[in-house]
Structure 1
Amino acid sequence: MPAIELADRIPTPAEHRAIAEAVGWTHAFDWDTIGASLAGSIAGVVALQNGVAVGMGRLVGDGVKYFYVQDLAVVPAAQGHGLGTALLDRLLDQVAAQAPSDAFVGLFATPEGDALYRSRGFAAGDMTGMFRIVAPHGA
């Protein structure tokens, strides 16, 4: 596999969409608003192979105490070489560099990502993850 470079930055909307679609997340995002969503990120990392984005991850939250790993994905052709682990480790390093004290790092994992996150110390703990979709007023 050709060399991979990790760039500490948020993916562009085009990079985000290409990677998301490559892993089957085509309908998981509102593509009209993804630029604004990405702009609200705290930090991120993009994996580049010959200048093309093949992996991504970003952090959302308050940037002080609460951080959430969001949109961590690697295109199928680049999977199986530790790239997901490298992206997650880089994001956790960014949390450690930014947080002034112990920080809570949360995430939602797909079944495919569960082993990766557990290998880096994530656990269900004594909490239950929940979510809800809220439609905008007038929708």
Structure 2
Amino acid sequence: MTTACTVVDRLPTPAEHRLLAEAVGWGGAFDWDTLPASLAGSTAGVVALDGDRVVGMGRLVGDGVKYFYVQDVAVLPDAQGAGVGTALVRRLLELVAATAPATAFVGLFATGDAVPLYERHGFTRGDMDGMFRLVEPA
């Protein structure tokens, strides 16, 4: 892995998303049959390329106006530590700034290992607690 990668404004393909997700241990976190529709509902996406090889991804979900959520930022293990995650998060935040007509709320859920990455980009825990629940289909 070279330290220089190219960040491209596009969503990962379902195959790229699966490759990256499985590489970082998220294989059981997705319903692969519905992933294409989930990706299509994204506000924006970015992929990191090392030559022709996709080494990272990230996307934004939300209303595209006021509320944005950073989702699915993943970097191949052999590309971690080279600034790829930083480049992806930086570009996602640039896309929010270019899209939002006023101050935007940008949220995310992070694994423990990823917290320092997001803190370097100004994310804080603030005075709120992140919460979630799973809802089964009716």
TM-score for the superposition, normalised by structure 1: 0.96
2: CA distance, partners of 1:85 / 1:96 = 17
1:51: how far off? 1.2
4+ long deviations beyond 4 Å: none
1: CA distance, partners of 2:54 / 2:41 = 20
1:40: how far off? 0.2
1:56: how far off? 0.2
Partner of 1:55: 56
1:103: how far off? 0.1
1:60: how far off? 0.0
1:5: how far off? 1.4
Partner of 2:127: 126
2: CA distance, partners of 1:106 / 1:6 = 21
> Structure 2, unaligned stretches of length 5 or more?
none
Using the aligned pairs only, state the percent identity: 68
Instruction: Determine whether 1:96 maps to 2:91.
Output: no
Instruction: Determine whether 1:87 maps to 2:85.
Output: no
SS in 2 for 1:85: helix
Report matched runs for 1:1-139 at 5 Å: 1-2=1-2, 3-137=4-138
1:48: how far off? 1.1
Number of aligned residue pairs: 137
1:50: how far off? 2.1
RMSD (Å), alpha carbons? 0.7
SS in 2 for 1:69: strand
- Write the deviation string for residues 79-103 of structure 1: whole angstroms up to 9, x where unpaired: 0111100100000000000000000
Return the letter of the residue paired with 2:133. Answer: R
